[in-house]
Amino acid sequence: MSTSISSAVKGLHLNLDRAGSWIAPLTLRVFLAWEFFESGLEKWNGQNWFADIQERFPFPFNHVPATFNWELSMWAELICALALLVGLGTRVSAVILIVVTIVATAAVHWPADWSTLSELAQGYAISNKGHGNFKLPLIYLVALMPLLFTGAGKLSLDALLSRIFWRRNND
């Protein structure tokens, strides 16, 4: 009885591992594509408010005109979100979105004043109650890391192109 349970658990783990290489990166890509595309669309349809926070942007973005920063972040979010969705240039898109997220965190989401870790921890929130709100940007950064380090996964244009070029180079 225990041998059959152990065998069943091993079989389940093996099947989950196989499915995971297809499904896990896809779910991250869809989640992140949705979030960043939505943010890009808000910029597309909204008014540029970057001039109000330009001095809080980290170097070198604090030396770039607010209009250019707005356009740069909007197009990065829109184009990289679509690239993530289909799994094309996933690692490059992840790097670009990591930069966008770090800049947004520094300029908008990081607490203005904190002197202790407990004060900083109050900023780990969704809504800003005077202590920042860096929870969502941190979640996005954490979700981008597997895509940066392992790529788009098997269900992606990156994987398809890799198989095509690998086959062509080995023929």
Residue type, 26: L
Low-confidence ranges of the chain (pLDDT < 70): 1, 168-171
pTM for the predicted model, two decimal places? 0.86
pLDDT value, residue 74: 97
pLDDT value, residue 124: 76
Q: Are 74 and 97 in contact (CB under 8 A)?
A: no
The tokens describing 26, both together, are 């896809």
Q: Are 132 and 89 in contact (CB under 8 A)?
A: no
Q: How many angstroms separate the first and last alpha carbons of the chain?
A: 50
CA-based nearest residue to 26, from 158, 165, 161, 139: 158
Whether the bond between 58 and the residue before it is cis, its omega within 30 degrees of 0, is: no
pLDDT value, residue 144: 98
Q: Mind listing the pLDDT tens digit for each residue in 40-65?
A: 999 999 999 999 988 899 999 999 99
Helices (H), 46-134: 66-86, 90-104, 117-121
pLDDT value, residue 71: 96
Please name the residue that has the structure tokens 């669309």: 41
Query: What share of the chain has pLDDT > 70, as a percent?
Result: 96
Rg (CA), the chain: 20
pLDDT value, residue 21: 83
